[in-house]
Amino acid sequence: MEGPANMHQPQRQSPKAVFLILLKYGRIIISTIWPILLVVLINPASHKGIIITIIVFGVAFLSLVYSILSYLKFYFFIQDDELCVRSGVIRKKILNVPFDRIQSIDFRQNLIHQFLNVVSVRVDTAGSKGIELELDAVDRHRAEELREIVLAYKRTKSNSTNVNSELLSDTSDESLAPELILTLSPKDLIKIGMSENHLRTAGIVFAFFLSIADDINQVLGWDVYGKLEDTTSSISLLGIFATIIAIPLFIGISFLITLVRTVLRYYGLKFWRVGQNFKVVSGLIIRNEKTIQKSKIQLIRWMTSPLKQIFGIYQLNIYQATNMEHQKDKSLVIPGCYQQQVDGTLDMTVPDFRKAVFSTHKMDISIVIRMVFLFGFIPALVFGIMAWRNEGFMQWFLTLIFPIAIIMGYAYQKKRRLKIHPDYILSEAGIFGRSYKLVEIHKIQTVQIHSSPVQRMRGLSSLHIFTAGGDISFPYLKDEIARQARNYIMYRVERDKASWM
């Protein structure tokens, strides 16, 4: 590594940044003027076409000049434990971000970044809306150097201020040795892709199909809906044939899309522990590198589905403190973990968790009645009335949702559990699969208790526990237990001197 001293000198981004900035502007410009371009392309010979071509070239030239200028005017450096950026072609802009306020420094690479071996750096801060600062293209080693300086600052800071820092006492010796926890091979990717939630993709595909059908209706004057209705409602041979072909095709398309999405998102995923941080690098076209400080973790979730169970894999999500809009963006998602990796990660973050003895609380059986009523009885009633009025044979099948809802309601109630330990709260759920959410009690922000008239009649209430990185909800819990849990959480949160972030 080069000496960190030169980070204190104002410096430009990598010269390759010009290219990326140009692309950025180019994309914005093209996305705004594409209708004009389309006209030119369709009718290049017209008189108007020539003028427009000139304009387009003019704009392109200007944006090239602007890109170069903004590259030349963009400086970043470190000064007095602050990350500073000086920029602006016409108006000068100066931005200072104190290290204390930096939440995370993440790297991102799209294909061009990867090709040029540079990264875009995103610096997030606490409390503000989203990304505070973005550097378009920085040489990889530079970016890492920058991050190391910030992290080193944070380490010394927490060492000097935390009096009872057993957590941080061993940081110095192991801080820089990265430990690879998981790496996904192409085989793993296929396993993950096969076991993803295909129903969700099917929903998206279906919605897409409907929107296209709408467009076709409008543009071509075809009545797609009418045709569909013809084929589905008449029990003709053709209709049945079409359905038999359409359903597997539909499933096949959904399956393929999920697989492609999985590969794009998780290609070459590597999950590391670097000292007191977790790091995940993944992605094929856009390569993301995200880091979470262990102390900033608010909630850990791991889950498996029946399909995932066949392969014995879990998806692990690690949530950190952030404003809610960016929750998805800022959490670490590690699919394809085996039990061993899940356990290993838990051991590193919440050391006593796996040895902990929990008191277990179940959901009251009356939740089944509620679920069956909402998701079984009412839909079945609606479908039943529809079938009766339309005399539709197929629609009677839909009333089968009622018995299905009963079975699912029971399965849900049976598997739903709230487990409480003096230091942790664990929520278990899943009808077919299994999903776990874990919070450390001293990270809890707020507790809410709700109750409906029905719940009160049976002495029940719903417990909601909020952290800065997600929440745990547990309805239909014995009121007494919910209140005791709330009182205990408050007791702990108000006495515990440990910081929640």
Using CB under 8 A as the criterion, what x/- string covers residues 323-362 for binding another protein? xx--------------------------------xxx-x-
# residues contacting another protein (CB under 8 A): 47
Q: Which of 87, 110, 162, 309 binds another protein (CB under 8 A)?
A: 162
Q: Tell me how far apart the alpha carbons of residues 360 and 363 are, in angstroms, rounded to a whole number.
A: 10
Q: Tell me how far apart the alpha carbons of residues 31 and 11 are, in angstroms, rounded to a whole number.
A: 32
Please state the closest distance from residue 447 (CB atom) to another protein, in A.
5
The verdict on 161 binding another protein (CB under 8 A) reads yes
The verdict on 446 binding another protein (CB under 8 A) reads yes
Distances (CA, A) of 495 to 115, 167, 488, 490: 52, 18, 11, 8
- Angle among Cα 408, 204, 429 to the nearest 5 degrees reads 30
Instruction: Tell which positions 450-469 bind another protein, by CB under 8 A.
Output: 450-453, 456, 466-468
Please state the closest distance from residue 445 (CB atom) to another protein, in A.
4
Distances (CA, A) of 330 to 81, 126, 137: 24, 12, 20
Contacts of 314 (CB under 8 A, 6+ apart): 302, 303, 304, 308, 337, 338, 339, 341, 342
Please state the closest distance from residue 104 (CB atom) to another protein, in A.
15
The verdict on 449 binding another protein (CB under 8 A) reads yes
Please state the closest distance from residue 422 (CB atom) to another protein, in A.
6
Using CB under 8 A as the criterion, what x/- string covers residues 386-425 for binding another protein? ----------------------------------xxx---
Please state the closest distance from residue 167 (CB atom) to another protein, in A.
14
Q: Taking a C-beta distance cutoff of 8 angstroms, is the pair 287, 113 a contact?
A: yes
The verdict on 431 binding another protein (CB under 8 A) reads no
180 vs 490, beta carbon nearer another protein: 490
**14 is written with which tokens?**
């990598």
311 vs 358, beta carbon nearer another protein: 358
Distances (CA, A) of 403 to 120, 431, 432: 53, 15, 16
Contacts of 179 (CB under 8 A, 6+ apart): 272, 273, 274
The verdict on 130 binding another protein (CB under 8 A) reads no
The verdict on 494 binding another protein (CB under 8 A) reads yes
The verdict on 447 binding another protein (CB under 8 A) reads yes
Token pair 């399956």 in the structure block, residue: 255
The verdict on 364 binding another protein (CB under 8 A) reads no
The verdict on 366 binding another protein (CB under 8 A) reads no
Instruction: Name the H helices within 180-236.
Output: 186-195, 198-220, 224-233
Stretch that binds another protein, among 39-47, 264-272, 288-296, 478-486 (CB under 8 A): 478-486
Q: Which among 72, 76, 111 is positioned nearest to 96, based on CA atoms? A: 76
Stretch that binds another protein, among 89-97, 136-144, 218-226, 438-446 (CB under 8 A): 438-446
Q: Which of 159, 234, 390, 487 binds another protein (CB under 8 A)?
A: 487
Please state the closest distance from residue 315 (CB atom) to another protein, in A.
23
Please state the closest distance from residue 292 (CB atom) to another protein, in A.
16
The verdict on 267 binding another protein (CB under 8 A) reads no
Token pair 């590391």 in the structure block, residue: 272
Instruction: Tell which positions 275-334 bind another protein, by CB under 8 A.
Output: 321, 323-324
139 vs 423, beta carbon nearer another protein: 423
The SS3 call for residue 127 is coil
- Residue 61: what residue type? F
The verdict on 367 binding another protein (CB under 8 A) reads no
Please state the closest distance from residue 367 (CB atom) to another protein, in A.
16
Q: Taking a C-beta distance cutoff of 8 angstroms, is the pair 501, 468 a contact?
A: yes
Q: Which residues pair with 122 in a beta bridge?
A: 106, 134
- Positive or negative: CA dihedral 396, 398, 400, 405: negative
Residue 482 DSSP symbol: H
The verdict on 125 binding another protein (CB under 8 A) reads no
The SS3 call for residue 498 is coil
Stretch that binds another protein, among 136-144, 255-263, 392-400, 445-453 (CB under 8 A): 445-453
The verdict on 127 binding another protein (CB under 8 A) reads yes
Q: Which of 110, 217, 309, 448 binds another protein (CB under 8 A)?
A: 448
- Residue 29: what residue type? I
Q: Tell me how far apart the alpha carbons of residues 203 and 187 are, in angstroms, rounded to a whole number.
A: 26
Q: Which among 272, 311, 72 is positioned nearest to 191, based on CA atoms? A: 311
Please state the closest distance from residue 420 (CB atom) to another protein, in A.
6
Q: Taking a C-beta distance cutoff of 8 angstroms, is the pair 444, 465 a contact?
A: yes
The verdict on 493 binding another protein (CB under 8 A) reads yes
Token pair 């503000």 in the structure block, residue: 128
Contacts of 434 (CB under 8 A, 6+ apart): 303, 304, 309, 415, 428
Stretch that binds another protein, among 54-62, 239-247, 262-270, 489-497 (CB under 8 A): 489-497
**Which residues of this chain interact with another protein, rule CB under 8 A?**
127, 161-163, 321, 323-324, 357-359, 361, 420-422, 444-453, 456, 466-468, 471, 478, 480-481, 483-488, 490-491, 493-494, 497-501
